[in-house]
Amino acid sequence: MELLGRLFRRRKLSALQWLRQGQKALDQGYQELANRAQGNVALQEGEENLPTGDAAPNMAARDFFKNALEVDPSDPVAWSYLGLSQWLLGQRRRALVSFGKALELEPNFASVWFYQGLTQASLRNHREAIRCFQRALELDPANIDAWISQGQSLTEVKDQEGAVACFRRALELDPADDVARLSLL
């Protein structure tokens, strides 16, 4: 789950801080701001549940993100987190829908392009996965995981030359990366 921490960084306030901000906004008559704060509480609580491999917390996280989207359906981060929680629960096709919605709202969200690619690869749609990884790398060329994943999908479509180039690029970025090194063997 180290990858999760690298890919999704946005909300710095705790759920309690968001609750306080929401109450303050409500007290001052700013209903829309109060609603956004409520959505951020749900996001924060969902984030706290995501980093485990256990299904129950991931189901709770998924439910928190759904609640956040009820408050603000135009939040690409909430859609991306919903997709990630669905992905972790093995709900790959649902994750594709959620990631797609996040990308409709924020087309330059590199980490979501990366997860869209991982999801496509897990469904054995390697050509589509490659397209997603390429877009992720256009937006974030230092994403070692995207280079490695693109190389793995290129291997699946029998493009060994392209795959080797991806693994070498990952090693240029991090010479100690064991996955890239092993992929070249």
DSSP line for 9-51: ----S-HHHHHHHHHHHHHTT-HHHHHHHHHHHHHHHHHHHTT
What ranges do the domains of the chain cover? 1-107, 109-185
Label residue 50 exposed, middle or buried (CB < 10 Å: 0-12, 13-18, 19+): buried
Q: Sign (positive/negative) of CA torsion 168, 170, 175, 176?
A: negative
For the 109-185 domain, the top CATH level (class) is mainly alpha
Q: Which two tokens stand for residue 94?
A: 């649902």
CA–CA distances in Å: residue 32 to residues 25, 26, 104, 157: 8, 9, 23, 49
pLDDT: which is higher, 182 or 131: 131
- Given a cut of 80, whether residue 95 has pLDDT beyond it is yes
pLDDT number for residue 1: 33
Q: Taking the CA atoms of 94, 54, 122 and 181 in sequence, report the sign of the dihedral they define.
A: positive
- The pLDDT, as a whole number, for residue 15 is 45
Asked if pLDDT for residue 155 goes beyond 80, the answer is yes
Domain 1-107 identical in fold to domain 109-185: yes
Q: What is the pLDDT averaged over residues 80-87? A: 87
Considering only residues 109 and 68, tell me which one the structure prediction assigns the higher pLDDT: 109
Question: Contact, 68 vs 80, CB < 8 A?
Answer: no
When pLDDT is cut at 50, 70 and 90, the band that residue 3 belongs to is very low
* Amino acid 119: pLDDT: 94
- pLDDT exceeds 80 at position 36: no
Phi, psi (rounded to 5 degrees) for 11: -85, 120
User: What is the number of alpha carbons within 13 Å of residue 16 lying toward its C-beta?
Assistant: 0
Q: Are 62 and 89 contacting, i.e. CB atoms less than 8 angstroms apart? A: yes
Lowest mean pLDDT among 46-50, 89-93, 140-144: 46-50
Which amino acid type is present at position 107?
Answer: P
Q: Give me the chain's average pLDDT, please.
A: 78
Q: What is the pLDDT of residues 164-178, one digit of tens each?
A: 999 999 999 999 888
The fold of 1-107 is 1.25.40
Cα–Cα dist 175/52, whole Å = 28
